């Protein structure tokens, strides 16, 4: 089945009682049973809900996986993965990652004696050397947030399998339209479905997708026991969003390329971080494992001062200054004070995330308006 057809029909069947083409919103907390232990597959909405099940089936289908699980947010999905571990286990993680993930790892789970080692996962040899007998999980983003670094998923998967560790890929920036980590050997794919999967900045949700049945049961037990599940309305919204993922991502990619080229040619712009440039260090890997380069990018100004960056951030009219990404509207963001503020400054600077870095989530508006907006803000 081609991608466009898959996204439109993933997880959904006409309602058997009414013929409704969209999955109904099953707004219920519990289900009547015929007898104790005899039910129609649903007992209590924390453990399962028909709208959520349709979405979880859709998640699995669009990521070429067997099992999907929906969570109340992306960090809730991440939390479930780390709860697979035991004290003394080690996680190898990218040194360039979403600040909320870093915050969870360092402020929540480190105190339970989970060991976190942060490295440049773009360098396969560095990953190989970092693995130890204690390594139970390798956590990567590709492209990374916000510096757009690329990790070779297949190569890291081989390292993880040799070590007997799990590989989890945060695929939020790419979306299933551009990249399918399970096909490249990953054990778990995580999405903040708030972003491209929902696509309209109107829902908070996360998901996990996997192929292994035992792993699915372990994660489902955590999901059910800890209760970080989404409501049926949120599931309905993401089901709706997935139906247009392919056409939105096509436009994100088209606009992203034009905005990236515009920025690189601008005399007042310093460095542009976008993995679609042929001189990007990860370009060849990205070209091999992705279907396109997306609409996420970051850039600096030649006047590399925080004051100038703040002026640009506050001057756009179409690009909205806001957290998040992946919606139909374009967003501009200051990682150092917003999405990555929880990472200590010295750590950010060591990894190349400067105080003046600006991140863009390029939306699907007319690209001429977007470049004109940036031109006026940059001056």
Catalytic residues: 46, 98, 170, 195
Q: How far apart are CA 98 and CA 84, in angstroms?
A: 21
List Cα–Cα distances, 3 to 6, 55, 63, 89, in angstroms: 5, 17, 11, 38
Q: Which of 358, 328, 333, 104 shows the shortest CA–CA distance to 206? A: 104
Burial class (CB within 10 angstroms; exposed 0-12, middle 13-18, buried 19+) of 220: middle
Strand 166-170 relative to strand 188-192: parallel, antiparallel, unpaired? parallel
The beta-carbon contacts of 185-189 under 8 Å, at least 24 apart in sequence, are 185/153, 185/154, 185/157, 185/158, 185/160, 185/161, 186/153, 186/157, 187/160, 187/211, 187/212, 187/215, 188/81, 188/215, 188/219, 189/63, 189/65
Query: Contact at 8 Å (CB) between 96 and 139?
Result: no
Q: Which of 317, 322, 311 shows the shortest CA–CA distance to 361? A: 322
Q: How far apart are CA 378 and CA 370, in angstroms?
A: 12
DSSP 23: P
């Amino acid at each position: 089945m081609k991608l466009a057809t898959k996204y439109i029909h993933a997880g959904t069947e006409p309602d058997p009682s009414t013929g409704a083409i969209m999955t109904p919103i099953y707004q219920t907390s519990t289900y009547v049973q015929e007898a104790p232990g005899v039910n129609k597959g649903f007992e209590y909405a924390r453990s399962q809900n028909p709208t959520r099940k349709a979405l979880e089936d859709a998640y699995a289908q669009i990521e070429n996986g067997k099992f999907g699980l929906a969570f109340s947010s992306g960090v809730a999905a991440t939390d479930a993965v780390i709860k697979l571990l035991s004290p003394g286990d080690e996680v190898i993680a990218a040194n360039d990652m979403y600040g909320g993930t870093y915050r969870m790892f360092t402020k929540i789970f480190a105190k339970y004696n989970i060991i976190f080692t942060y490295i440049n996962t773009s360098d396969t040899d560095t990953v190989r050397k970092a693995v130890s007998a204690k390594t139970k999980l390798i956590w990567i983003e590709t492209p990374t947030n916000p510096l757009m670094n690329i990790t070779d998923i297949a190569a890291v998967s081989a390292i993880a399998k040799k070590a007997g560790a799990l590989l989890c890929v945060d695929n939020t920036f790419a979306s299933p339209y551009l990249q399918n980590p399970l096909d490249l050997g990953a054990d778990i794919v995580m999405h903040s479905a708030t972003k491209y999967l929902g696509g309209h900045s109107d829902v908070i949700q996360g998901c996990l997708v996997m192929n292994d049945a035992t792993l699915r049961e372990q994660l489902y037990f955590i999901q059910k026991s800890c209760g970080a599940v989404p409501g049926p309305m949120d599931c309905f919204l993401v089901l709706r969003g997935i139906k247009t993922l392919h056409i939105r991502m096509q436009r994100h990619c088209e606009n992203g390329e034009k905005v990236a080229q515009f920025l690189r040619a601008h005399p007042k712009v310093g460095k542009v971080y976008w993995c679609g440039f042929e001189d990007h260090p990860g370009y060849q890997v990205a070209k091999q494992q992705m279907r396109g380069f997306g609409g996420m990018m970051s850039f600096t100004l030649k006047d590399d001062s925080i004051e100038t960056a703040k002026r640009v951030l506050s001057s756009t009219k179409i690009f909205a200054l806001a957290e998040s990404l992946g919606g139909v509207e374009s967003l501009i963001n200051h990682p150092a004070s917003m999405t990555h503020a929880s990472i200590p400054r010295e750590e950010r600077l060591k990894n190349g995330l400067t105080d003046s870095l600006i991140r863009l989530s390029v939306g699907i508006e007319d690209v001429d308006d977007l470049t004109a907006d940036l031109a006026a803000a940059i001056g």
